[in-house]
Amino acid sequence: MHQTIKKTRSDTIFEYVNTILLVVLLLIIAYPLYFVIIASISDPKLVTSGRILFFPQSFNLKGYAEVLHYSPIWTGYRNTLIYTSLYTFLSVMISLMAGYALSRKSFPGKHIVSSFMIFTMFFNGGLIPTYLLMKQIGLYGSPAIIVLMGAVNVTNIIICRTFTKSTIPEELFEAASIDGCTHISFFFRVVFPVSKALIAVMVLFAAVSQWNSWFNAMIYLRREDQMPLQMVLRDLIVSQSALSQASDSAAIGGDAAAQIYLVESMRYAVIIVSTLPIMCIYPFVQKYFVKGVMIGSIKG
């Protein structure tokens, strides 16, 4: 017979307080996304006047219709998919390979290399020197700069080094090398397969980071057809803000007012459209999330 532990009054109060706090936290996190959804399908006049709070009113899909016919959206979508795919692949592979190399005892000068990498986490050249450097080496105005900048993630490299060092012993490689296994073969046949949980987490973080990135594009790209989706969204927000300020400072005609409402509706629709891919991917990798984070926290 298993004896059940009776809850004390303090335990019950603690559970209730925890539940209430978690529900409040959930509402704080979920409401902004919920508001964007209901605002995107409501009359923009009601949204701008602040009358949309909990439920959609005057069902309206004009914002989505305009988004479907707004060519910069799809150009930005294409560019973002390309940038995110290449950046994620490059970042994850660099992190895994560098982490594997730094975890091997036979790697000469690994402590010096690690020290230089960690140094870059605290100090960098700053925006203007980086801008001048990118211009001198010919990356300014090139889409390649979006993929290459930030591809070497020191935090991920340290996590991969710790994981490889604590999971795959040096003796295993020594045994494999006797049979003629090289470092490349060992990496792809042993290290890569056992790192699936860690890879899933790094892919998710890298993809979300690059998908939401717009600052580098604003600084280093010049052509409109190279801009990512988030820059298109930013331009919509800026134009809507400019129109709103103009409407506050002077009386505007019906066409200008209609343009303000249209841009407002498109803004929420674009947010939903730009968020959908990440929301669709997350359920497939979230099962690896906790495991991968715990793996990365193991001390090497």
pLDDT in tens, 138-156: 888 888 888 888 888 888 8
Nearest Cα residue to 147 out of 77, 202, 192, 92: 92
Q: Is 71-296 assigned to CATH 3.40.50.720?
A: no
Task: Report the distance separating Cα 290 and Cα 285, nearest Å.
Answer: 10
- Predicted confidence at residue 86, as pLDDT, reads 92
Non-local (6+) Cβ contacts of 115 within 8 A are none
CA distance 53 to 259: 23
Res. 300: pLDDT tops 70: no
Q: Is the pLDDT reported for residue 90 higher than 50?
A: yes
> What digits encode the pLDDT tens for the residues 159-197?
888 888 887 777 777 777 777 777 788 888 888 888 887
C-alpha to C-alpha distances, 241 to 221, 259, 263, nearest whole angstrom: 23, 12, 10
171: its two tokens: 């003796």
Query: Average pLDDT of 230-256?
Result: 64
Q: How confident is the model at residue 275 (pLDDT cuts 50, 70, 90)?
A: confident
Q: For helices 71-103 and 196-211, give the axis angle rounded to 10 degrees.
A: 140
Q: Which 3 state secondary structure label does DSSP give 56?
A: coil
Domain boundaries defined on the chain = 71-296
State the pLDDT confidence band at 21, using cuts at 50, 70 and 90: very high
Reported pTM: 0.76
3-state secondary structure of 50: coil
Per residue in 30-83, pLDDT (tens digit) is 888 888 888 777 777 777 777 777 887 777 777 787 777 778 888 888 899 999
Helix, strand counts (H, E) of the chain: 15, 0
Q: What's the pLDDT at 298? A: 46
89 pLDDT more than 90: yes
Residue 294 above 60 pLDDT?
Answer: no
Q: What is the pLDDT of residues 202-221, one digit of tens each?
A: 888 888 888 888 888 888 88
Q: Return d(Cα 257, Cα 260) in angstroms, integer.
A: 5
Q: How many CB atoms lie within 10 A of CB 133?
A: 12
| Residue 20 confidence (pLDDT) | 92
- For residues 118-133, give the mean pLDDT: 82
